Amino acid sequence: MATAPVPGPVPGSLRAWLLSPAPASRRQARFGRWFRAWLGFRRNPLAMSGLAIVALLVLMAVFAPLIADQQSATLQVLQDRLQPASWQHPFGTDELGRDIFARVVFGSRITLTIVVMVGVIVVPVGLAIGLPAGYFGGVVDTVLMRITDIFLAFPRLVLALAFAAALGPGIENAVIAIALTAWPPYARLARAETLTSRRAEFIQAAELQGASHLRIIATQIVPLCLPSVIIRLTLDMAGIILTAAGLGFLGLGAQPPAPEWGAMVSSGRQVLLDQWWVATIPGLAIFIVSLGFNLLGDGLRDASDARS
């Protein structure tokens, strides 16, 4: 730190470097922008609680074997069925005597897997369709956007149900079914972002320098689109989790004995009147995680929105 070339007060030099009104390099400018966004984000307690929930979810999924016993998530102990909460079973046991706590903890892995895989599929697909549509316009735009419209015309859950039923039950198929129904908004978003910057001077400059279309899209337009796409994805996570839980509830998601939260709610319905915890606890888990992603997404949007 002693050799820091940046002028200013020595304590908090990194902060000063980041907040410098006259950045010396592009890198400094970019980091500075991110840091300012983070400062704005940090002032928003709701967004911070959303971040905390999502961070907890990720930690829970990663360290699941340390938190709960993997075996007891699927081990049936018929003598101990439908037990209320106790020290041995913090959330009680379900209709086959399985520990609900362990099931909720390991269920987070399934939820997170679905969310991540859907994100990984949806963003590239959305960009691949939205960017050319906005960039080239004309016939390309019309064709790609009408295809998008067709997918948008179906109610999302119903379409996901149809796909999941046709593909057969299972996590992978649920992911594909959800991804197939979730990409159109991303395509539209990417197209809109592209349109706004399509005639910007720096794009024209790049064109004059002889850059290919592919190069312009990849290096100039994609970075402009990504932030809004990522924010949109965070906001969508709640919907994706709910859709996944809905598929699981209807028996089209993860298959038994996998501790998928939606399937757990479904099996708990039968004893809802007397053993409320069997359905309620995984239901709460779905609720909290969806809320967390929503708050996080809202916070990110507020923090990144330069226009407001």
Partner 1 sequence: MTEISRRLLLAGAAAAPFAGWVRIADAAAPKDTAVFAKQIDDIITLDPGECYELSGIEMCTNIYDRLLRYEAEDLNKLVGGVAESWTVSPDGKTFTFKIRPNLKFQSGAPVTAEDVEFSLQRVVLMDKTSAFLLTQLGWSKTTVKDLVKGSGDTLTLKITADFAPSLVLNLMTSIVASVVEKKVALANETNGDLGNGWLKTHSASSGAFKLLAWKANESVSLEAYPGFRLGAPPLKRVVVRHVPEPASQRLLLEKADADYARDLTPDQIKPLASNPDIKVESFKAANTFYMGLNLGYEPLANPKVRQAMKMLVDYDGMVKSFLAGRFFVQQSFLPLGFFGAIEYVPFKLDVAKAKALLAEAGYKDGFAVKMAAPNVSPWTEISQSVQQTMGQAGIKVSIEPMELKAVISQYRGRGHQIAMLSWGPDYFDPHTNADSFVHNDDNSDTPKTKPIAWRNKWFIPDITKEMLAAAKELDAKKRAEQYAALQKKVTDEGPYIFMFQNNNQIARRTTATGFNPGITEDLNFYRTIRKS
Of 137 and 251, which CB lies nearer to partner 1 in the complex structure? 251
Contact between 75 and partner 1 by CB under 8 A: the answer reads yes
Which residues in the chain belong to E strands, given as ranges? none
Please, what is the Cα angle at 94 between 90 and 98, to 5 degrees?
75
Q: Among all chains, which residue has been given the structure tokens 């307690």?
A: 45
Contact between 298 and partner 1 by CB under 8 A: the answer reads no
Contact between 235 and partner 1 by CB under 8 A: the answer reads yes
CA distance 290 to 241: 7
CA distance 245 to 251: 10
Contact between 1 and partner 1 by CB under 8 A: the answer reads no
Contact pattern for partner 1 over residues 262 through 281, marking x by CB under 8 A: x----x-xxxxxxx------
**Tokens in use for 55?**
């961070």
Phi and psi (nearest 5°) for 59?
A: -60, -45
**Tokens in use for 94?**
């379900």
Of 88 and 212, which CB lies nearer to partner 1 in the complex structure? 88
**Tokens in use for 177?**
């079914």
Contact between 169 and partner 1 by CB under 8 A: the answer reads yes
Which range touches partner 1 (CB under 8 A), out of 62-70, 71-79, 131-139, 199-207? 71-79
CA distance 191 to 188: 5
Q: What is the dihedral of CA 79, 248, 254, 88, to 10 degrees?
A: -30
Map residue 40 onto helix, strand or coil: helix
Of 161 and 176, which CB lies nearer to partner 1 in the complex structure? 161
Which range touches partner 1 (CB under 8 A), out of 48-56, 63-71, 74-82, 200-208? 74-82
Which range touches partner 1 (CB under 8 A), out of 2-10, 35-43, 73-81, 106-114? 73-81
Which range touches partner 1 (CB under 8 A), out of 2-10, 128-136, 200-208, 235-243? 235-243
Contact pattern for partner 1 over residues 242 through 261, marking x by CB under 8 A: xx-xx--xxx---xxx----
Q: For residue 253, which amino acid is it? A: G
Binding residues for partner 1 (CB under 8 A): 74-76, 78-79, 81-82, 95-97, 155-158, 169, 235, 238-239, 242-243, 245-246, 249-251, 255-257, 262, 267, 269-275
